[in-house]
Amino acid sequence: MEPSKARAIVEKALIQGNGILRLKPAWVARDFLPPGYRLGLREEEYDVGERGYICERWLASVTKADNRIGPPDEGLSYLALDSGEQLTLKEAVEVAGAEIMGAEYARTHKGLGRLAKIYDFAARIPYHIHQRKEDVAPLGRNPKEEAYYFPEGLDMGPHPETFFGVHPYIVEQKKMDLLLPHLVEWKDDLILRYSRAYLLVPGEGFHLPSGVLHAPGTAVTIELQEDSDVFAMLQAKVAGKIISKELLFKDVLPEKRTQLGERAVLEQIDWETSGDPYFYENRHTAPILIEETQQEGGEEYWIYYNTTKFSGKKLVVKPGKSFISVDKGVYNILVWQGEGRYDGHPIKARDFDQDELLVTYAKATTPIKVENTGREDLVIIKFFGPDINLDVPMIPRYPPGS
């Protein structure tokens, strides 16, 4: 679409929405794991043939899914326009960045810079890493630091625990090559013997820097991350089958693969963080009440924190009450529970036409009335990009002074 036409569409939508854009769901398939069937689709809608199964929903996404097979716009969110015209949020930000993000933020940041998603698998995700900046910048890709929140009220699946990092002795004694035979032989899932599993608790989460080994469990997870879809899978056997070894090398420079083989992936691991003996103390993220937001009608909690690369809040509004929301920059929301109005816009959880909005800078930084018109708590997740909430809490390093 011509930029001038796209800009005109965005400007009209912003006027009609009073600074708020309604978005359509962006469904993403994966071909290496079975779905958990908890995303709200009809059962027959999950199977998408050779692409695999719908296992993820991306939220206010300007990121294309990096799948082997899929449509060219997979992962990209579209604006929900009354005219029926088709325009992605990515295109909207490109042609009207200042109007959406604020002029100063648009000048200093290239795009929204974050990706929010819900993922839902019936088996544990393979042990893997998301590469650091120095490893994927030569490929023209972004690193992927991420954070998780495990929503309440859902079945946790058969494996509600996540493996993080490696046993500390492996790093302390520099025995990283213990993992190498599993990558070379590519025949089983026994590489997990070198990691430790942590229980996933509804209402809590974890923060994970890029380069850290992990194998996420089967809880439905609402994830916030850097704008990227890079990874290297280190576990060969998943859900009873051997996955393609090409997933090990997906984001490895070809010359590195030729020179180092499987060892190239070991060199991409953040061993210090992966071997942290106090990983839980330094990465576990329980909700933190934001005291200054407490009102008669509700309150907000930090649920994504410990980094300024992204951040996020949970807003809870009591039945029949309202809440005045004021924030520091552009954000998107997912309505997780309940129904109501957001600055007059009808919102409703589990209704794909009413559960996702993007709130522009000009609107976000002025008082917004959030109303709960239902009989249960209205629960809304807010997702922010880099450098918007510079006062986000940081977990004190444990042990102190280390």
Q: What is the pLDDT at residue 401?
A: 83
Q: Do 117 and 57 form a contact (C-beta atoms < 8 A)?
A: yes
Q: Which residue has the tokens 């929405």?
A: 17
In 3D, which of 118, 217, 245 has the Cα closest to residue 159? 217
Distance CA 205, CA 285 (A): 5
3-state secondary structure of 2: coil
In 3D, which of 82, 80, 96, 97 has the Cα closest to residue 5? 96
Q: What is the pLDDT at residue 355?
A: 98
Q: What is the pLDDT at residue 145?
A: 98
What's the sign of the alpha-carbon dihedral 138, 208, 293, 333? positive
Q: What is the pLDDT at residue 1?
A: 84
Q: What is the pLDDT at residue 190?
A: 98
What does the pLDDT look like over 4-39, one tens digit per residue?
999 999 999 999 999 999 999 999 999 989 999 999
pLDDT at 97 over 90: yes
Phi, psi of 326 (to 5 degrees): -140, 130
Q: What percent of the chain has pLDDT over 90?
A: 98
CB atoms closer than 10 angstroms to residue 339: 20
Residue partners of 381: CB distance under 8 A and separation at least 6: 116, 149, 222, 303, 312, 313, 314, 315, 333, 334, 336
Distance CA 91, CA 129 (A): 30
Q: Do 338 and 347 form a contact (C-beta atoms < 8 A)?
A: no
In 3D, which of 121, 168, 365 has the Cα closest to residue 279? 168
The per-residue DSSP string of 51-92 comes to G-EEEEEEES-------SS--TTTT--BB--TT----BHHHH
How far does the chain reach from its first CA to its final CA, in angstroms? 53
Residue 350 tokens read as 């589990």
Q: What is the pLDDT at residue 224?
A: 98
CATH fold group of domain 3-18+25-284? Jelly Rolls (2.60.120)
Q: Which residue has the tokens 């194998």?
A: 215
- Side chain identity, residue 255: E
Q: What is the pLDDT at residue 135?
A: 96
Q: What is the pLDDT at residue 402?
A: 80
CATH fold group of domain 288-384? Jelly Rolls (2.60.120)
374 burial type by CB count under 10 A (0-12 exposed, 13-18 middle, 19+ buried) = middle
Q: What is the pLDDT at residue 336?
A: 98
The predicted model gives 45-52 an average pLDDT of 96
Which residues of the chain are in CATH 2.60.120.10 domains?
Answer: 3-18+25-284, 288-384
